[in-house]
Amino acid sequence: MTQIIDPHLHFFDLQKGQYQWLVGSSPPAWPNLDKIRQNHGLAQLVLGDDLCLAGLVHIEAGFDNQNPATELKWLATQISTLPYKAIAYIDMTQAPKDFCAQLQPLLDNTNFIGIRDICEGLDANKLLHPNVATNLAVLAEHDLVFEAQFELHHDSVAKHLSVVCQQLPKLQVVINHSGFLQQDTKWQGGLQLMAQCRNVAIKFSGQEHVNNHLDSHTLLAVLIAAFGDERVMFASNYPVCLMRDDYANVWHHYRQLVDDDTLWGKLSYHNAKRVYRL
């Protein structure tokens, strides 16, 4: 049985968390939304007999964005049998004083490892806000991770963020969902800008978010060519991956993309273990 680490998944408790983005009046227009809009936890992560989940990274899911520490406290009641790390939410554009005040209680949680503030679409310009670089420097001081969730075809954003990453070599940045690469956008420049920063890694995940996505073999080859085989990680994006496939099928598809066992070990386990210090 082969061990894997899943560095991007979400657990939901619709009775305890808020999740207004999912259960509010304007939920996302996703296929299979009824499968996603349920409670999700470790019990649903069924892989089969050949793969074994050996650790995970939980990505914030809007449990309580006004008080992000509550999600970490809840998460600690849900996971007791596996090593895990947790990415929390903080608005990266807020004043540094307010940012530090919201960060402080998160630091008391031993599983806390970093911050995500989604910047997709027009929100990508949030990363150009002057407070972001200052707040990223705070994350670097605490050896924390920043989950960068934006489309790499935003060249100006990629250029700015790459400069910040070079100025903050202690900051670990992880690009979510393969940077949303798709066939009809010009992502090559943004990809190269981010890949040249040695403190930036990227997750092979989230193809369900891209309408005109690259073929999986092509996408993997592109990411490895840019980032090398030690800064690319397979990740499920569970339960959002249910838009297209179940958890086990996502991981078995990944396994079929890689013939070399050493490469598979890096992409499915070792890289995530190192980046997230699991």
pLDDT category, 78, cuts 50, 70, 90? very high
Q: How far is CA 15 from the centre of its chain?
A: 24
Q: Tell me the C-alpha distance between 220 and 197, whole Å.
A: 19
- Residue 181: CB partners within 8 Å, gap ≥ 6? 152, 187, 191, 210, 213, 214, 219, 222
How large is the C-alpha radius of gyration of the chain? Answer: 18
Closest CA to 211 of 29, 33, 8, 7: 29
Which burial class, exposed, middle or buried, applies to 172 when counting CB atoms under 10 A from its CB (0-12, 13-18, 19+)?
A: buried
- 84-121 residue pLDDT tens: 999 999 999 999 999 999 999 999 999 999 999 999 99
Which residues pair with residue 116 across a beta bridge? Answer: 89, 147
Question: Is a pLDDT exceeding 90 seen at residue 212?
Answer: no
- 110-164 residue pLDDT tens: 999 999 999 999 899 999 999 999 999 999 999 999 999 999 999 999 999 999 9
- 52-69 residue pLDDT tens: 999 999 999 999 999 999
What is the percent of the chain where pLDDT is above 90? 97
Q: Tell me the C-alpha distance between 25 and 115, whole Å.
A: 26
